[in-house]
Structure formats: structure tokens, C-alpha cells
Homo-oligomer: A and B are copies of this chain.
Amino acid sequence: MEAPNPAIPWDRDELTVGDLAARSGVAVSALHFYERKGLITSRRTSGNQRRYRRETLRRVAFIRVSQRVGIPLADIGAALATLPGDRTPTAKDWRRISQAWHDDLDARIEQLSRLRDHLTDCIGCGCLSLRRCTLTNPHDELAEAGPGPRTLLVEGLESDGA
């Protein structure tokens, strides 16, 4: 299919799992794991050894970056699954799937900032300001102030020692 010419060295465009590990900085066991999870694929040699396309290096890079961003492997896998299977992904493809992470990062930075600001308030008041601040109240669950003892941490906290 791809006219492998043994005379041309850069024709060796397949990577062993060890090559991939060395160049990606990811352990062989992790690469096996990614493959079991379907995040990367390989063909097998006659001796049942894995051979990866060079493109896989980029996939692994994407996986690593995504993990740094804090995305779980399952989500990364879902994103990778939207890449075309019939051709090598283009810059546009990578741009598209990276965009989702960017939005996600924005949201998480925003959330952490809010958390920090609340924490500042709480530190400022010196008592974690449990009745007044939403810190102890993860998703504004007090708003749904429904049945049972859903007052969470609020009651009794302002009144104890400290």
C-alpha cells in the first residue's frame, strides 16, 4: 500500500512500543493500557508485536496534554474517537477537539477562582463563615431547600466553639 522501500531509512515509519515509550515519555505499560482502552491502536507483526504509526505519537501527546488539563481518560478517548479513521487527522481536526478542553479549562478556572474568593471571605471573617458563605454548600444545594435535614453544615456551626 505504501511502497516500503528498504533503501530509504525514513521509510521506517512505524514505531515499536519501546520507541513510542521513549519518544513520548510514557511507560510501555501505560501505552498497553491506552491501547486496551482504545485510545491508540496498532497493527501486529507476524511475531505478534505492536507497530504504531508515527501519527500515534501525536495521539499520545494529545492524551498527555489532556490529562494535564485534568480530563479523564474516558473523555479523552471519546474525543479521540471523533477523529477520522480513514485519514490522518489534520490540524483542523486537532484544533476542533482541543477547543473543547479550552472551554473546559475556562470553566474550571472560573470555578476555582470563585472558590478562592469565597475562601478569602471566609478567612477574612475568621470562622469559615459557615452560615453566610456557600463554600460548604457545593452546588448551591441550599437553594433547593427541600425536605429533610438539608441544612447541611449550616446549623450549629456558628454556635459551637472556635
B23–A130 touching, CB < 8 Å: no
Q: Quick one: CB contact mask for A125-140 with B, threshold 8 Å, 1 for yes?
A: 0111010000110100
Is A94 close to B, CB under 8 A?
A: yes
Q: Please state the number of chain copies in the assembly.
A: 2
CB distance from A64 to the nearest CB of B (A): 6
Please tell me if A155 contacts chain B, counting CB pairs below 8 Å. Answer: yes
Count residues on chain A whose CB falls below 8 Å from chain B CBs: 61
A17 at the interface (CB under 8 A from B): no
List chain A positions with a Cβ less than 8 A from chain B: 22-25, 54-55, 57-58, 60-62, 64-65, 68-70, 88-95, 98-99, 101-102, 105-106, 108-109, 112-113, 115-116, 119-120, 122-123, 126-128, 130, 135-136, 138, 141, 148-153, 155-157, 159-162
Chain B, residue nearest A116 (CB): B105
Residues of B within 8 A of A94 (CB): 126-128, 162
Which of chain B's residues have a CB closer than 8 A to the CB of A148? 22
**Once bound together, how far apart are the Cα atoms of A25 and B139, in whole Å?**
13
In the complex, A91 Cα to B88 Cα: how many Å?
59
Q: Check if B136 sits within 8 Å of A122, measured CB to CB.
A: no
Contacting residue for A23 out of B91, B102, B123, B149, CB 8 A: B149
